[in-house]
Amino acid sequence: MQNDTETGPANHPATGRGLGVLLPTGSAQWGQGADPRELVPFALRAEQLGYDALFVNDSLLTPRIEALTMLAALAPVTRRATLGTGALLPFLRRPVQAAQALASIDLLSGGRLAVTVGAGFPGRFGQPLYTLSELPWERRFKRLDETVALWRQLWTADGPTSFHGEVLRFDDVPPSTRPFTPGGPPIWLGGATPAALARAGRLYDGWLPYPPDPADYRTGLTAVQEAATAAGRDAGSIAPALFVSVLVAADEASGRRAMDVYARANYGLGLEDLEQIQAVVIGPADRVTARLQQYRDAGARRLVVRLGALDLPAQYEQLELVADLASDLH
């Protein structure tokens, strides 16, 4: 599909309503008998409803459509929405090959890619992935930062280049695929530990955490901006985003029961445990709107919502409900 005149860098990386959706790429979110190819029309419907970002997450621990494969499928058929990762785990891929894949998606989308990255979490949601990738858990943050630095170098080099970091070392890398976006797509960081906040401010183009309390979001964003200023960067250039699980329900009690089922299916955690570590908003539309507005007031300009539903018909219903309430956010 040809991109129209509204497509491309003028709308990138975060303009319009500031509302994105995490696509239900995990098999637990499709429902039995569903066709995962339905994810493409689902994304198109989201764009039609006014969502201006389509995000995917990344893992090897549960069956899902691979993140970059999903974005490549969406690049030529979507028109305006930012295509994002939330979050990509670069250690799952060879770094030079990943640079080529990301540049290719940015080219195919006309410069609409935004890449949030992370290094994984301690425990069963992170460390086993390093074992599968045959990489050490130690120095994972240094590996992540150097991978991003390597990508940026490959995306801007005029010819063969070498990279000598503390963890990554490459000599005579051939010329790489150039992204559509000059300098490469923006790269955001997930995470909200003190070290992550400092690194986001020093090295990254945006911040995508999921703190359970809006007050913690405000405090974290201040720390990111202070780190940016201390590093001689423009603090206002760092995109402030939020990853949040949302379920619009007739009442809070029924919504909590449904989200508890969702949390157990996707994480093996009950809702009460999930709420301790992630932003979760449940209830009637007015309550959901008020809670999301608190995050907006705390500084989040991009909301990436994960819809708490376990089959595609319910995902479509939630997609419509959240789109309706978004007009009341400011």
- The tally of domains found in the chain comes to 1
Which pLDDT score, from 0 to 100, does residue 45 have? 98
The domain that contains 117 carries what CATH number? 3.20.20.30
Q: Compute, in degrees rounded to 10, the torsion defined by CA atoms 30, 23, 214, 123.
A: 70
Boundaries of domain holding 171? 9-326
- Quick one: how far is CA 26 from the chain centroid? 15
**Bridge pairing between strands 239-248 and 302-307:** parallel
The dihedral region occupied by 287, where left means phi > 0, alpha psi between -120 and 50, and beta the remainder, is: alpha
Mean pLDDT, residues 65-87 taken together: 98
Q: Is residue 4 part of a domain?
A: no
Does some domain include residue 295? yes
Question: Which pair of structure tokens corresponds to residue 275?
Answer: 């709420």
pLDDT at 61: 84
Residue 16 pLDDT grade (very low, low, confident, very high; cuts 50, 70, 90):
low
66-70, 103-107, 237-241, 266-270: which has the minimum mean pLDDT?
266-270
- The verdict on residue 67 lying in a domain is yes
DSSP string, 209-233: ---SSHHHHHHHHHHHHHHHHHTT-
Q: How confident is the model at residue 7 (pLDDT cuts 50, 70, 90)?
A: very low
Please say whether the beta carbons of 306 and 248 come within 8 A.
no
Is 50 inside any structural domain? Answer: yes
Asked if pLDDT for residue 205 goes beyond 50, the answer is yes
**Is the residue at 2 inside a domain?**
no
Q: Reply yes or no: is the peptide bond before residue 41 cis, omega within 30 of 0.
A: no
- Interatomic CA distance for residues 240 and 222, integer angstroms: 10
- Please indicate, yes or no, if residue 287 is contained in any of the structural domains: yes
pLDDT for 251-280, tens place per residue?
999 999 999 999 999 989 999 999 999 999
Distance between CA 68 and CA 302 in Å, rounded? 21
Q: Is residue 197 part of a domain?
A: yes
Instruction: Say whether pLDDT at 282 is over 60.
Output: yes
Q: Whole-prediction pTM value?
A: 0.94
Q: What is the pLDDT of residues 140-177, one digit of tens each?
A: 999 999 999 999 999 999 999 999 999 999 999 999 99
144 is written with which tokens? 């992540």
